[in-house]
Amino acid sequence: MPELPEVEVLVRHLAPLLQGRRIAGVVVHRERVVRPHRAHEVPPALEGAVIAGVARRAKFLVFDLRPRQPGLPTRLIGHLGMTGRMFLQPKGREVPRHAAVTFDLGPDRFIFEDTRYFGRLTWDDRCLARLGPEPLGDDLADEAFARALGRSRAPIKVRLLDQSVLAGIGNIYASEALHRAAVSPRRATCRISTAERTRLLRALRDVLEEAIRFGSTLPLDFAGTGARDGLFYYGRVGVGPTEPMMLAEDSTPPDSMSGHPAHPEVGNGYYERLRVYDRDGEPCLTCSRPIRRIIQAARSTFFCPNCQK
């Protein structure tokens, strides 16, 4: 579920649930996820710690800890990779097949689940040191954005995905922001005009903020227990046969037929949230000419060749 807005929504959801809870036990089901630590190092490092708070930095979740004794880690850093999820479950329920790490919190269990195991959970904080500025931070003024972009000749889309340039932009919102700013994803970064750059920063913030606002009000299925359309993203919800449901700690699993029907007009207003992503061949919502899909840095980019020059 990862990209800045999804992580932000998740953090807001988790913070009140985890604050003040004590970690009674930890089980590492997939050693790869706690790299560079070893599985056996994890329980002695974390057990007995109290979770003091949860925050976000770029696409990372940062859990502040009060360790049981000095010298032990004071924060845990999580990354969801492509398919990571985090949620609470009552103990006694079966842990999901792809649980990577589980925490015993007493009455319930905090689960980091990740089908592809690209995610991470670590107290090695070097990953945070390499990050560029937060796109939503007040500190990121126009000049700071210009400085971050630099004089690179790389295509702007590829540049936006570089976490050391700007932290938190992923493949979906990069395409979305460029479309809103009417800048071609292929444009060399150093050939973006001042006006375009200003538009782009604005578009980035708008896209991210809207997604957060939207995600905060949307019934989300953090546990992934509901039938899904495969994306878990806000934008295509309503297209598929079901709609994700909110799952606080332990709400009842959604009955799969209770979602809105698949008609866009009946829909829930989510239908047009993503204007270009995953819309290859569909008409651009501004000019109605077809959206195109191209490959940049081995990843799909979607854009309107007519609107974005």
Partner DNA sequence: CACCATGTTCCTTG
Partner DNA sequence: CCAAGGAACATGGT
Given the rule CB under 7 A, which residues bind DNA?
A: 1-3, 6, 32, 58-59, 79, 81-83, 97-98, 115-118, 127, 130, 152-155, 158, 161, 163, 170-172, 189, 229-233, 296-300
Residue 8: C-alpha distances to residues 57, 136, 214 (Å)? 9, 11, 12
Using the structure block, give the residue that is written with the tokens 């360790």: 67
Among residues 12, 30, 299, 305, which one is catalytic? 299
Q: Least separation, in Å, of the C-beta of 116 and DNA? A: 4
Catalytic status, residue 59:
yes
Q: Which residues contact 213 (CB under 8 A, 6 or more apart)?
A: none
Query: C-beta of 265: minimal distance to DNA in Å?
Result: 22
**Catalytic-residue membership of 36:** no
Would you call 8 a catalytic residue per the annotation? no
Contact criterion met (CB below 8 Å) for 220 and 228: no
Tokens encoding 204: 């980035």
Residue 299 Cβ vs DNA, minimum distance, rounded to whole Å: 5
Residue 304: how many CA atoms within 13 Å on its side-chain side?
22
Short-list 222, 151, 229, 148, CA closest to 188: 151
d(CA 306, CA 290): 9
CB atoms within 10 A of CB 301: 23
What are the start-end ranges of the H helices in the chain?
A: 4-18, 42-46, 126-129, 142-149, 156-161, 171-181, 194-217
- Which CB, 127 or 246, lies closer to DNA? 127
Closer CB to DNA, 248 or 297, in the complex: 297
Q: Tell me whether residue 40 or residue 97 sits nearer to DNA (CB atom).
A: 97
Do you find a cis peptide bond into 36, omega within 30 degrees of 0? yes
To the query of whether residue 299 is one of the catalytic residues in this protein, the response is yes
Nearer to DNA, 22 or 260 (CB): 260
- Among the listed residues 21, 59, 180, 236, the single catalytic one is 59
Cβ of residue 106: shortest distance to DNA, in angstroms? 29
Residue 185's nearest CA partner among 291, 107, 105 is 291
Q: Decide whether 287 or 297 has the Cβ nearer to DNA.
A: 297
Question: Closest approach of Cβ 232 to DNA, in Å?
Answer: 4
Among all residues, which ones are annotated catalytic?
2-3, 59, 299
